[in-house]
Amino acid sequence: MVKKEKNATFEENLKQLDDIVEKLESGEVDLEKSVELYEKGMILKNQCESKLKKIETQIKKIKIENNQIKKEDFK
């Protein structure tokens, strides 16, 4: 199983996912390595989706009140 990299940014995860897709599309990786890359890619995809959902929640909590932007605590 692939370990979750701590503190990886969305952009870093997306770059790693892009690299994996390029390797898989090249057709130059053996079957076992392809499965390993696919598994890591799915983990990275899930991490990216999770981060996007968190950001979406933050954006929804930002409100304009009295001509000022106020961010509500959403924890």
Q: Structure pTM?
A: 0.72
Q: Structurally, how many domains does the chain consist of?
A: 1
In a domain, 5, yes or no: no
pLDDT in tens, 28-72: 999 999 999 999 999 999 999 999 999 988 887 776 666 677 766
- Structural domain of residue 43, as residue ranges? 10-71
Q: How far is CA 11 from CA 1, 37, 47, in A?
A: 22, 18, 11
Q: Do the domain assignments include residue 54? A: yes
In a domain, 34, yes or no: yes
User: How many whole angstroms separate alpha carbon 46 and alpha carbon 41?
Assistant: 9
Residue 63 lies in a domain: yes
